Every structure is written in C-alpha cells, then in structure tokens.
Amino acid sequence: MRKPLRRQMLLVLMKDNRPASKDRCQNIVLIGFMGTGKTTIGKIASERLGLAFVDTDDLIVEREGQPIPQIFERVGEAGFRKIETDVLRGLAGEGGKIIATGGGIITQPENIRLLQELGFVVWLAATVETIFERVSMNRDRPLLYTEDPLQTITDLLAEREAQYEAASDLRVETDNFHADEITHGIAASAGVASGLTKVVLTLSKASAICIAS
C-alpha cells in the first residue's frame, strides 16, 4: 500500500557557529547521499534562479578523462577523494553558482570547511528505502558494487549522517516531494539566510521562481 503523502516539507535551518554569510561566496551548495537528487534539483534550481550549474563529479570526470567507476579502479577511493578535494578547492572564491557535490564529499574534514566557504550548504536527505529505489537503476556508483547494496547504503548513511549535519546550513527531507517544490524551499531559505529582508516567491503557471528583496 502506498504511504499517504506527507504535504509538509521539512526544512530545518541549522544554527551554530557556522561562518557568517558575509564571509562566504554566494553559491548554493548541495550535499547529500547518492540518490538524494542533488543533480536533478541543482539543474532545476540553476534554471529557475538564473545561476550557473556545476557538479563536482562532472568536473572530476572531465579532469581525469574517465568515468567515475574507472577512476575508482585506477586510484581507489582514497585517490578519488584527493581529486575531489582538489576540484573543490578549485571552486573557491567565485559565487553565482549552484554546486552539486558527490555523496562522499563530506567524508574529508577539510572539505567541510571548503563547502561552507563556498556558500549556503543544503543537505538533501532521504530514507534508506528511497535512496535504494533511486540508485538501483544505475550502475555508475562503485561504492554500491556490493553483495547487499541496501545494507551498504544503511551503513554508509549511518557513518555519514553527522558529517552532513556538520557541513550543512539547511536540511531538506526529499522523500515525498517533487524537485520543483524542493527548489522553492531551498531558494526561500537561502534568501532568508543571506540576509534579504523580505523574500517573495512568485509561483507562475510555469513554476518560475522569483526572489525579490
């Protein structure tokens, strides 16, 4: 039986000693486990908000001239993480982008600081079941080449949860929402957090979004 749709989107703004928005570049950075929709939502958000879209996985593939499974084969996960950190460093100092990241980017402590310096960090969260459903169609994630991918997802998610939390300004539960709705929530929250005094979201028939201050 289908679960009833939960129509209240959970957006949790994290508060503690994260760097003030004036000390950060003006990007929206998407983090979260594989299959939580970083690329899909990032592309929609970039169109709606008129910001450029970059994906750290794409930058890695471009730089190495190889797909991710082959990079893992050649240099292992540790080698992949070094390249990933390097690519992240390369994005420093520039704003105006939606930046989607690989699911394991938060496993390197240095990356947490780099992510926060890049802008407003949004953690796209989902349950193990949703993630499994979303990733099982696709064979390009070497960490899931295991006997029991569902268990691997459960274990990795448990290991990483605190790191996603440490890195993020906002957590969005994505299970029951359409990418458009999530994009609206993220844009509004980023506007509030970056100090716009008033945020106006205008939803047209085409779901265009407009943020005014």
Cα angle for residues 6, 11, 14 (degrees, 5° grid): 150
Contacts (Cβ under 8 Å, ≥6 apart) of 209: 48, 49, 183, 184, 187, 201, 202, 203
Q: Applying CB under 6 A, which of residues 11, 83, 143, 150 lies at the interface with ligand S3P?
A: 143
Tell me which stretch binds ligand S3P (CB under 6 A): 120-128, 137-145, 173-181, 204-212: 137-145
Q: Could you identify the residue written with the tokens 């503690």? A: 16
Tell me which stretch binds ligand S3P (CB under 6 A): 22-30, 99-107, 111-119, 166-174: 99-107
Q: Applying CB under 6 A, which of residues 103, 119, 185, 191 lies at the interface with ligand S3P?
A: 103
Picking from 80, 194, 177, the residue whose alpha carbon sits closest to that of residue 125 is: 177
Tell me if 187 contacts ligand S3P by CB under 6 A: no
Cα 199 to Cα 59: distance, rounded to the nearest angstrom: 32
Tell me if 37 contacts ligand S3P by CB under 6 A: no
44-73 residues in contact with ligand S3P (CB under 6 A) are 57, 68
CB of 200 to ligand S3P, least distance (A): 32
